[in-house]
Amino acid sequence: MNRRVATLMVHTSPLDQAGTGDAGGMNIYVCESAAQMAAQGIQVDIFTRRANNDYPDIVDLGNGVRVLHLNVGPVHGVTKEKLPALIPDLSAAFKAAMMCQGSYDIIHSHYWISGKVAMPVAKELGIPLAHTMHTMARVKNLALAEGETPEPMIRVQGESQVVAAADALIANTDAEAASLVSLYEACPDNVSVVSPGVNLEMFTTGAGKNIARKNLDLPLDALLVTFVGRIQPHKGPEVLIRAVAEMVSHSPALRSKLVTLIVGGASGANTSEVDRMKELVNWLGISDVVRFAPPAQRQELADYYRASDLVCVPSYSESFGLVALEAQACGTPVVASAVGGLRTAVADGISGVLVDGHDPRAWSSVIARLLQEPQRRILLSMGALEHASHFGWAATSRGTLDIYDRVLSINEAAKKSIG
Ligand code: UDP
């Protein structure tokens, strides 16, 4: 019989638009992996908390993937910060929903809140639990942006409990695996590394840069530098904005051609950060150079990447950084912070450039030099395509299924030895 996987992500839905609110790389990760697993005959049910009334209780995405809504707490207004109070109710609803749908082989939870929800259910139903953190409080707190609020202790404690309870922890990179062991005392034998991927059919060079610019109504002769992601201090859009201000003051000749695009929406419930970034742009006197665009759907996003000369990812920490990979798959070199998963997502000097620290002057000098060296950008673009080509989601799903198999066989052996 085909395997059945109960995937749990309670604080955001796979049906949400990524790039705003609480939806980002994790949503894409869960949807793309589920689709690839389903293509290999696995049935994947993704359980999420109902946070709007637009959908029926069960949404069939086709090909063996379904989204099942847990009706817990008020539909609207439950922020990620308020969600931990609902964990016991979510566990009860998750268990009931799973039992209603027949038996599952494994539970895979995403992000610590879902891990906490899944822990008692896995234990009560005797099903192994695989968990992916996506981000970790201790890692974030070691690399906060200026003025950024640290992640709360309840999250650190919750993550520690999930680490201790999970049968398998799936990390995006060796760096994340090391953090799980060193910062959360994970048993190294329980930690496996599976690289996330990029949809290599959707993110391609397509019809090329000029057509992408035409589609987006962007000037063909512009030097286009783009940020894609939720507007939050941790992602560092301020670093790019300040770097652009530095750049136009040091290289005024760039100004007439430079266009900086910030694509994405407010992060979580924090809408004030978008306003703060817009005010910063005005205050720095670069509103002729910087434009803001609302969250983009996948096809349009691919055009943004293709249209760009450079995509910048100035994050303070990043468990992987899907944006970096997507941009490279479209043939666009990436300038990224030399932190966490971005060290894997970007091949320094080959598919882009990694920058140490977040000093806008350092960022400005790297970006300005690349903008002034079109030949180097062509080489980096070729390197970007080659680098991204190694990261398909099919490989992610194969790696994840291997971990499921290992956990299940250990579990079965343990059951036999008890029996
Ligand atoms: N994204 C999107 N539309 C946008 C901005 C972002 O679909 O306007 C997607 C983007 O394609 C990527 C994800 O959101 O897949 C962000 O993932 P990443 O790992 O870069 O950051 P995270 O959100 O996980 O911190």
Instruction: State whether the beta carbon of 25 lies less than 6 angstroms from ligand 1.
Output: yes
Domain ranges of the chain: 4-197+393-411, 209-388
Is the pLDDT assigned to residue 128 strictly greater than 80?
yes
| pLDDT for res 48 | 98
Residues in the chain: 419
Angle at 194 between CA 262 and CA 16, to 5 degrees: 40
What's the pTM?
Answer: 0.96
10 Å Cβ neighbour count for 359?
14
Sheet holding 352-355, edge to edge: 290-293, 258-263, 223-228, 310-313, 334-337, 352-355
The pLDDT value recorded for residue 414 is 84
Strand partners, 169: 131, 191
Per-residue confidence band for 411, with pLDDT thresholds at 50, 70 and 90:
confident
As to burial, measured by CB atoms within 10 angstroms (0-12 exposed, 13-18 middle, 19+ buried), residue 50 is buried
Span 368-373, average pLDDT: 97
pLDDT at 383: 98
DSSP symbols for 347-407: -BTTTEEEESS--HHHHHHHHHHHHT-HHHHHHHHHHHHHHHTT-BHHHHHHHHHHHHHHH
Indicate whether residue 264 lines ligand 1 (CB < 6 A): yes
Q: Which atom of ligand 1 is nearest to the CA of 301?
A: 3
The C-alpha angle with vertex 62 and arms to 14 and 409, in degrees rounded to 5, equals 75
Regarding the beta carbon of 104 and ligand 1, being less than 6 Å apart is answered no
Average pLDDT on 292-309 reads 97
Is the model's pLDDT at 1 over the cut of 70? no
4-197+393-411 shares its CATH topology with 209-388: yes
Q: What is the pairing mode between strands 65-70 and 58-62? A: antiparallel
> Residue 137: is its pLDDT beyond 90?
yes
Average pLDDT over residues 334-348: 97
Best mutation site among 12, 20, 28, 396 for ligand 1 pocket (most ligand atoms within 8 Å of CB):
28
| Range name among 123-137, 381-395, 401-415 with the lowest pLDDT average | 401-415
CA atoms within 13 A on the CB side of 31: 19
End-to-end CA gap in the chain? 23
Please tell me the distance from the alpha carbon of residue 331 to that of residue 151, in angstroms, as a whole number.
35
Q: Which residues pair with 226 in a beta bridge?
A: 261, 311
pLDDT of residue 185: 98
Residue 295, pLDDT score:
97
Cα 42 to middle of ligand 1, angstroms: 26
Which positions ≥6 away from 27 have C-beta within 8 Å? Answer: 9, 12, 13, 14, 16, 18
Distance between CA atoms of residues 306 and 329, nearest Å: 9
pLDDT for res 346: 98
Q: Report whether 330 contacts 53 (CB < 8 A).
A: no
Nearest to 334 by CA among 363, 303, 361: 363
**Interval between CA 323 and ligand 1 midpoint (Å):** 6
- Which superfamily is assigned to 209-388 in CATH? Glycogen Phosphorylase B; (3.40.50.2000)
- Ligand 1 geometric centre to CA of 336 (Å): 15
Distance 18 CA to ligand 1 centre (A): 6
Tens digits of per-residue pLDDT, 163-180? Answer: 999 999 999 999 999 999
Q: Which residue, 281, 274, 291, is CA-closest to 242?
A: 281
| Rounded Cα–Cα distance for residues 129 and 168 (Å) | 7
**Into which CATH architecture does domain 4-197+393-411 fall?**
3-Layer(aba) Sandwich (3.40)
Give the pLDDT confidence of 14-43 residue by residue, as tens digits: 999 999 999 999 999 999 999 999 999 999
Q: Return the H-helix or E-strand segment holding 304.
A: helix 298-307
Ligand 1 centroid to residue 19 C-alpha, Å: 5
At residue 415, the pLDDT reads 80
Strand spans (E) along 215-358: 223-228, 258-263, 290-293, 310-313, 334-337, 352-355
Per-residue pLDDT band for 269 (boundaries 50, 70, 90) equals confident
Using CA atoms in the order 233, 22, 43, 132, what is the torsion angle rounded to 10 degrees? 40
Q: Among positive and negative, which fits the CA dihedral 366, 367, 370, 372?
A: negative
pLDDT for position 400: 98
